[in-house]
Copies of this chain bind each other. A is one copy, B any other.
Amino acid sequence: MILSEKIKKAISAFTELPGIGPRHATRLVFFLVSSPGKLKNLLAGLSSLLDVKICPRCFFTVENSDSLCRFCTDPSRDHKTIAIVEKETDLISLERTTKFKGRYLILGDLKKNGVLEDEQTRRLASLKNFILEELGGQAEEIILAINPTTFGDFSASFLEKDLKRFAKRFTRLARGIPSGGEIEFADEETLSSALEHRN
């Protein structure tokens, strides 16, 4: 019993977070104990997250209300074009381009075994429901903005099959050589795709 219950409890709360192992958690707890200012700062930051809710339509964050988020309520956006992303940070990356003016569905990390979690099934059902009720049964386009990896391809084809009758068109983000990248270092698959979809 080298560590007290309080320290252990805080360490175990940290280890429940993604990407934080027990060693890192221990380091964080001792750091916070010896930095009371940062501990208070973190407590304040986390407490204010208690007010943040999830948009019932796209599942992005929404504040100070139980209604829809600003993407879902923005009349200037094209609600018939829906980008399905795994993570909130993917949505943020797409927003930063300022090129996408449709709306979103955040699905959560897709498992590599191709089985949807209950929450993911629920979110897809809510999308289907929205398309049925608000778009007359079919969206213009569903962009499957899933990572271009083997698992991502698998998930995308699975989702496309599931959503088949709910959109006129299914697309994925283009694959190619990143801006500033070099042809010499592109892998064969990327280069094949860049050649095939040359524009």
Contacts and interface: CB of A to CB of B under 8 A. Distances in A.
Interface stretch (A42-50, A126-134, A164-172): A42-50
Count identical subunits in the complex.
2
Contact of A17 (B19, B28, B50): B28
Interface residues of A, number: 54
Interface string A1-42: 011101101111110111110011011111111101011111
Nearest to A3: B92
A42 to B, nearest CB: 4
Contact of A46 (B3, B39, B49): B39
Nearest to A59: B34
A50 B88 CA distance: 32
Given A9-B48, A30-B88, A39-B46, 20 more contacts: A4-B61, A4-B63, A6-B48, A10-B46, A11-B45, A12-B45, A13-B38, A13-B41, A13-B44, A16-B41, A17-B32, A17-B38, A19-B24, A26-B92, A27-B87, A32-B49, A33-B49, A40-B50, A43-B47, A43-B50
